[in-house]
Chains A and B, each alone.
Chain A
Amino acid sequence: MITREEIQNIAILSKLFIDENELDTLTQDMAQIITFADTINTAVEELEDFEDINNLSNVFREDEVLPSYDRSLILKNVDGGENGYFPVKKRV
């Protein structure tokens, strides 16, 4: 069963702020989501293990240089990117 502490830890790792009084509800919601996802474990396995759902392998590109984007496009959605960098907001 998922615990309040686990929810709190996930929030810390994701840099999310969670109010103390939200924790119980979130814990319950998350528990429900996990229980729902767990139903897949009850499925009967008749087929071999597969490595990936697409059953594809080895989709590669060769090592050939393509033009990069113009920097103005790369920084288009950025406030304060005038010096050519992405500025980082101070973290709380």
Chain B
Amino acid sequence: MTYELVSGLETHIELSTKTKIFCGCTTAFGSEPNTNCCPICIGLPGTLPKLNHQVVRYAIMAGLATNCQINNISKMDRKNYVYPDLSKAYQVSQFDKPLCKNGYITLDSGKKINILRIHIEEDAGKLVHERGDTFVDYNRGGVPLIEIVTEPDFRSIDEVKEYVEKLQLIMKYVGVSDCKMQEGSLRCDVNISVRPQGEEKLGTRTEIKNMNSFTFMAKALQYEYDRQIDVIESGEQVIQETRRYNDDTGETESMRGKEDAHDYRYFREPDLVTISTTDEEIEQIRSLLPELPSAKLDRYINEYGISATDAAIIAKYRKVAEFFDEACEGVKAQKIVSNLIISQIFRRFPTDGEKEDFEISITAKMLNDLVLLIDNGKLNMNLAKSTLEKMLDTGKPVSELVSEKDLSGVDESALRQICEEIVSANPSAVSDFKNGKTNAFKSLIGGVMKATKGRADAMLATKILEELIK
């Protein structure tokens, strides 16, 4: 029998605020343990939380960017559980009135993954296990999170991966989070069940917690899918529980029986007041949203005529996309810009992380100046490429690297004269070419470029040479 995978995702994203959700302690990553803490972070009795306004704004931005409705009235609740990563024995989260609800993200196939809700909450501290002992660092405690909960809409591991990649990119574009999986600022809990193909009723689900890498997530899902099928085929029943993926064994293992919502005994956080957001405020935040990745991609492909592959590479990195957009100002052939970025500039940014940070020595305006010269036929492609190399090396603008003389190019009659000279000076190359040695043509072109110090338009030179030799 074939089984269908059914999966839903809860994604926790750390917001890029400067301070924690309820106090003014910094959210900086990598500090010495327990140095970014105050009595609120460690939950001392008598302390009072005060909500960071930026957390609310960011969460609304995240909601709007994923097509959510924003609740005008929202509130915080206590989620009670006893575990040392939370010193208060409850997490301040949202239960029945989250900030955002009913959104979606569209996959490339056109399928919509429905987002049930987005709520804000505090992150927990970090447990460190050492030689059988456990220690807690509360620096992360109180760092603001949004939790994005989808419906069980995923039917394959690829869909899960695509959704997370799209979500990550949207949040980076909107600027609410750096979404660095390796630093834990984007973590996923995956709910998974299987059912016989064609069956309507959902199977019993398990939840795999805290995955912060695409590779682990794919492996864990595959393992859990196979495991649940084995359980069912052997006539047993899948138990609803929380599991953890162990990368050493490549297996998921049981952590604990799954709590039901009522086990958390949610109740309203009495120390925090209602969050009320007017439609005007929501529209004001919407007006601040940048162009989203899907819209950018669409513009690059349909307006600029860039191939889908190239457009996706540019749009994949927010800073690159912004650089590209600025470099395209007033340019007729945007494709030249994308080609220069992908084939030339990216050689200096080989890794994903380097493209992500995109610390480039020239401004987008400088590239724009260069491309406008190409666009106007003042600079040929070869010279443009070597000039770009110099620009990247020195950080200087094109005006300092290319003389007026270079820019004037070589007009057609002058070029024709030079070509004629080259042809008559190299009879052997000409006869070699006529005898079928196509490589001989390259030496003729090389001669023309040398004579014009690279200023000649190679396409035009080729055309003239071909005419002359024929």
A13 close to B26 (CB less than 8 A): no
Provide the bound-state CA to CA distance between A77 and B33, in Å. Answer: 16
* A63 B136 Cβ-Cβ under 8 A: no
B33 touches A84 (CB 8 A): yes
Q: Which residues of B contact A74 (CB under 8 A)?
A: 34, 37-38, 42, 138
Interface positions, chain A 57-92, Cβ under 8 Å from B, are 57-66, 68-69, 71, 74-75, 83-88
B34 to chain A, nearest CB (A): 5
Main secondary structure of the interface of A (DSSP, over half): loop
Interface residues on B, range: 35 or more
Indicate whether A21 reaches chain B with its CB closer than 8 angstroms.
Answer: no
Residues of B within 8 A of A68 (CB): 25-26, 35-38, 41
B25-55 CB mask vs A (1 if < 8 Å, else 0) is: 1100000111111110110000000111111
Q: Does A39 contact B (CB under 8 A)?
A: no
Question: What's the minimum C-beta distance from A64 to chain B, rounded to whole angstroms?
Answer: 6
B75 / chain A contacts, CB cutoff of 8 Å: 51-52
B200-208, B272-280, B326-334: which lies at the A interface?
Answer: B272-280
B contact residues around A41 at 8 Å (CB): none
Quick check: is B425 within 8 A (CB to CB) of the other chain?
no
B33 x A13 contact (CB < 8 A): no
B54 → A minimal CB distance (Å): 4
Q: Are B51 and A59 in contact (CB under 8 A)?
A: yes
Chain A min CB distance to B60 (Å): 13
Verify A63–B53 contact, CB threshold 8 A.
Answer: yes
**Who on chain A is nearest to B42 by CB?**
A74
Q: B253-277 toward A: CB 8 Å interface, digit per residue (1/0)?
A: 0000000000101001010111110
How far apart sit A87 and B137, CA to CA, in the bound complex (Å)?
Answer: 9
Q: How far is the CB of B438 from chain A (nearest CB, A)?
A: 65
A residues less than 8 Å from B289 (CB atoms): none
Closest to A53 in B: B270
Question: What is the size, in residues, of chain A's interface with B at 8 Å between Cβ atoms?
Answer: 30
Interface presence of B424 (CB below 8 A): no
Contact B273 A88 (CB under 8 A): no
Residue of B nearest to A58 (CB): B276
Nearest-CB residue, chain B, relative to A70: B35
Confirm or deny: B387 has a beta carbon within 8 angstroms of a beta carbon on chain A: no
The residue on B at minimum CB distance from A61 is: B50
List 26 A–B pairs whose Cβ atoms lie within 8 Å, in order of A's numbering: A13-B81, A13-B265, A15-B82, A52-B273, A58-B276, A59-B50, A59-B51, A60-B51, A61-B50, A62-B54, A63-B17, A63-B18, A65-B24, A65-B26, A66-B23, A66-B24, A68-B36, A68-B37, A68-B41, A71-B35, A74-B38, A74-B42, A85-B34, A86-B42, A86-B84, A86-B136
Nearest 10 A-B pairs (CB), nearest first? A66-B24, A85-B135, A60-B53, A63-B54, A57-B274, A88-B134, A57-B276, A86-B136, A56-B273, A51-B274
Q: Footprint of B on A, CB under 8 Å?
A: 9, 13-15, 51-54, 56-66, 68-69, 71, 74-75, 83-88
Q: 18 extra interchain contacts, Cβ-Cβ under 8 A, other than A59-B51, A68-B37?
A: A51-B73, A52-B75, A53-B270, A57-B275, A58-B274, A61-B53, A63-B18, A65-B25, A66-B24, A66-B25, A68-B25, A71-B34, A71-B37, A74-B38, A85-B128, A87-B133, A88-B135, A88-B136
